[in-house]
Chains A and B, each alone.
Chain A
Amino acid sequence: MEDGGGGSILESIGSEIIGVMSPVSICMFLVVLLVYSLTNTSASSAVRTAANLVYLESPTDTPAEKLEGALLNALVFVILIAFVTFVLVLLYYYRCTSFLKHYTRFSAFFVLSFMGGPIFLTIIQHFNIPVDSVTCFILLFNFSILGVLSVFSNGVPILIRQSYMVALGIVVAAWFTRLPEWTTWVLLVALALYDLVAVLAPGGPLKILVELASRREEELPALVYEARPTTNANISGSRGGSTLAGLLVAGMSQNDGSDHGVELQAVSASPRTNIGNYENEIASESGHMVINMDNDDEEEVEVVREDQEENSPLMAGNSRERSRSPMMYESTDNSSRRLNEVAVAEMMRPRRERDGDEMIEVMNGRGIKLGLGDFVFYSVLVGRAAMYDLMTVYACYLAIISGLGCTLILLAVCRHALPALPISIALGVIFYFLTRLLMEPFVVGTSSNLMMF
């Protein structure tokens, strides 16, 4: 039966982009809520973190002093992050992968319990929720342990994993919003620039990391949000439906006779998450998906290697040293460059089924992965905008989302790892200052007189 037969293309276009934008929006929204409800209660005493080692901003300083101090702070922070990233590259180069994984798990636990804990406590205090400390401790402990388990294990449902990524982003962002104002803005700009350099420049640590990972064809032990699209509503039969970027469907397949059979392991069974980003419900229950490529007539079917992928090397360091993470695009190797082109052009090839050997063609199908640091810094920007006004929140939100959209489009064009921070942060900062300086007198002036257009 035809897939999506009679259905319009409007049903499915753009679902991957929304799959990335929704968690980002949810993260930003929750951080704004947190900021709004907790700004009054949190003490304005300066917290000395890695981000203001050099200069503690106080409201009595002159703007020049503040700017200078903020620049120094940002410089120190970026240097710290670069150093940590290089250390991680070194560790990865010497194949200390299990150490990195354990470190990531430890830092996830640390963030969720020791940084999320105070936030929970503040919420409880602020809203006078009646709960005793033993219950609280047990709940927090369970929450953190589940988070640790879900970070790298593949037995945990993807929704829980995604929720924990968002939760980690929220906790770290909420802490970052405690930084003083000038430091925050300069830090954001500095980090955007660092991200640009680290991912694109030839000597950049993240670029090296990505290349190492792709050469070794394994997944980086990093905290990354995977946006896996849900299966399409019009699933026909057991073979799965079609989405825009193609179908990846894998059904069960007994592929013994094929020479080109490549065994993909279902995402839930192994740490090698790759092509299985687009998966059918049925396929995900199956232990293995076998994709058969036929190179006969359909020239567009390509070999899909299971191990080609790139992840975002967000290093889960200490929350304050959380490094940059570029947004990566999984790319296949050279032999399937055409597949990539196809994927990139977002064409959907008609799915063919061959009755004989129950082989399903593989179309492209890549989920988009966004590093956790991007979540954090987008939310920090919006959280800082929330401390001023709701108008700036909305303007910055739109700016960030459109920057993310532009980056995704560029990703589809460039097909290699791209930094997700620069465009969004640049647009966000521009829109924040434009809104704050220009729009407010205009809009508030008219609407407080009840005149609107």
Chain B
Amino acid sequence: MTVAAGIGYALLALGPSLSLFVAVISQKPFLILTVLSSTLLWLMSLIVLAGVWRAFLPFKTTPSSSAWLPYSILILSSVVFQEGLRVLFWRIYKKLEDILDAFADRVSKPRLFLTDKMQIALAGGMGHGVAHAVFFCLSLLTPAFGPATFYVEKCSQMPFFLVSSMIALAFVTIHTFSMVIAFNGYAEGNRVDQLIVPVVHLVAGMLTLVNLASGGCIIGIPLLYCMALFTLLHCGKMVWKRLADSQNR
């Protein structure tokens, strides 16, 4: 719908990430490197998933049969795989933390602060979020820069691009902050936090299945935003508590 609308949609999905990037991450080169490597990791996870599912796509669904089952299996498997990858990411991060601490000792500087660790986790999460936004939303936005727009039947109240951007925004938020929660959970051995992240991811993924139904996006998107809000609040509460604890110590 013209360049302005195209840029608008892109900013809708990625605006908060951009401001987070400029404000927090671009100040420290290491965080930029973390974002890049995290995005690469999630890109590779998407490629692997795509490779596995390539044989089964596109799903042959007749109008009578529902496409619920294959899509839900797809989403379930993808979420499980990605959560497994998150644990792997955590292990790599632990090794990196040891290397960084050893380096800090060598140059007689203080070791990684708690805020540093959280910032690295935030950068990792942002990489995940940006990878999601680019592949699921931005790659489809190229037609939006042209003169027309596009509506999907199942969600005909808004242009497709707008819906896609909004969903992408919710997911970006979820991904960015659940990485912080996950890393904190793994670091402290907090079972609740460790489990909340995969559960939230799975629920969010499954919620998008609602969009298959006609008019489903009216319910789906607000619920998705509830999940995003929940993730944000939980992350904020956890960080606050952790920082307060470490200051009291």
| Residues of A participating in the B interface, judged by any CB pair closer than 8 Å | 4, 6-15, 17-18, 21, 346-350, 389-391, 394-395, 398-399, 401-402, 405, 431, 434-435, 438-439, 441-453
Contact in complex: A445, B106 (CB < 8 Å): no
CB distance from B192 to the nearest CB of A (A): 23
Tally inter-chain residue pairs, CB-CB below 8 A. 166
**16 additional contacts (CB under 8 A) given A389-B142, A390-B134, A450-B212:** A9-B103, A9-B107, A10-B119, A14-B32, A14-B33, A18-B32, A350-B107, A389-B139, A394-B138, A398-B43, A445-B59, A446-B74, A447-B136, A447-B137, A450-B211, A453-B82
Q: Which residues of A contact B116 (CB under 8 A)?
A: 8, 10
**Interface assignment of B182: CB less than 8 Å from any CB of chain A:** no
Cβ contact within 8 Å between B142 and A443: no
B33 & A443 in contact (Cβ 8 Å cutoff): no
By a CB distance below 8 angstroms, the chain A residues around B135 are: 391, 394, 439, 443, 447
Interface assignment of B171: CB less than 8 Å from any CB of chain A:
yes
Most buried by B among A14, A21, A394, A398: A398
Q: Which of B102-127 contact A (CB under 8 A)?
A: 103-104, 106-110, 112-113, 116, 119-120
| A450 contacts B217, C-beta separation under 8 Å | yes
Q: Most B CB atoms within 10 A — which of A21, A349, A434, A453? A: A453
| B36 pairs with A401, CB closer than 8 A | yes
**In the complex, are the beta carbons of B49 and A442 less than 8 A apart?**
yes
Complex interface: chain A residues within 8 A of B27 (CB): 11
Expressed in whole angstroms, the Cα–Cα distance for A391 and B139 within the complex equals: 5
Which residues on the B side are within 8 Å of A10 (C-beta)?
Answer: 28, 30-31, 100, 112, 116, 119-120
CB pair A405 B139 closer than 8 Å: no
Q: Which of A9, A346, A398, A444: most chain B CB closer than 10 A?
A: A9
Residues A451 and B112 in contact, CB atoms below 8 Å apart:
no
A447 to B155, CA, bound (A): 13
Nearest Cβ on chain B to A98's Cβ, whole angstroms: 39
16 contacts between A and B (CB under 8 A): A8-B112, A10-B30, A13-B30, A14-B33, A21-B32, A350-B107, A391-B134, A395-B47, A401-B36, A405-B33, A438-B50, A438-B51, A442-B50, A450-B208, A451-B75, A453-B78
Verify if B71 is at the interface (C-beta below 8 Å from A).
yes
Give the most central of A6, A391, A434, A452: most B CB within 10 Å: A452
Complex contacts, B228 vs chain A, CB 8 Å: none
CA distance A435 to B43 in the complex (A): 9
Query: Contacts of A448 on B, CB cut-off 8 Å?
Result: 140, 152, 160
B126-149 vs A, CB cutoff 8 Å, 1 = contact: the mask equals 000000101111111110000000
B14 within 8 A of A: no
Q: Which chain B positions have C-beta within 8 A of A350?
A: 107-108
Q: Is the CB of A394 within 8 A of B104?
A: no
Return chain B residues, CB-CB under 8 Å to A13: 29-30, 100, 103
Contact A450 B32 (CB under 8 A): no
Partner of B57, one of A7, A402, A445: A445
Question: Inside 8 A of B79's CB, which chain A residues have their CB?
Answer: 453
Given contacts A8-B110, A443-B50, contact A449 B33 (CB under 8 A): no
Nearest residue (CB) in B for A15 is: B29
Determine the residue in chain B with the shortest Cβ distance to A442. B50
Q: Closest 8 CB pairs between A and B?
A: A442-B50, A453-B205, A450-B211, A391-B139, A18-B29, A14-B29, A348-B107, A438-B50
Is B113's CB under 8 angstroms from A449's CB? no
A-chain residues with CB within 8 Å of residue B136 when the two chains form the complex: 443, 446-447, 452
Query: Whole-angstrom distance between the alpha carbons of A127 and B204 in the complex?
Result: 43
Interface string of B54-68 (1 = CB under 8 A from A): 100111000000010
- Judging by beta carbons under 8 Å apart, are B171 and A402 in contact? no
CA A399 to CA B43, docked complex, whole Å:
10
CB closest residue in chain A, given B217: A450
Q: Which residue of A lies closest to B37 (CB)?
A: A402
B39 CB–A CB distance under 8 Å: yes
Which residues in A have their C-beta under 8 angstroms from that of B36? 21, 398, 401-402, 405
B86 CB-CB contact with A under 8 Å: no
Residues of A within 8 A of B50 (CB): 438-439, 441-443
Q: Which residue on chain B has the smallest CB distance to residue A391?
A: B139
Query: CB-CB < 8 A to A11: which residues of B?
Result: 27-28
Assess whether B199 is interfacial by the CB under 8 Å rule.
Answer: no
**Residue of B whose beta carbon sits closest to that of A444:** B140
CA distance A449 to B211 in the complex (A): 7
Q: In the complex, which residues of chain B have a beta carbon less than 8 angstroms from the beta carbon of A450?
A: 152, 154-155, 160, 163-164, 167, 208, 211-212, 217, 220
In the bound complex, do residue B134 and residue A394 qualify as a contact, i.e. CB atoms below 8 Å apart? yes
Beta-carbon contact of B47 and A435 below 8 Å: yes
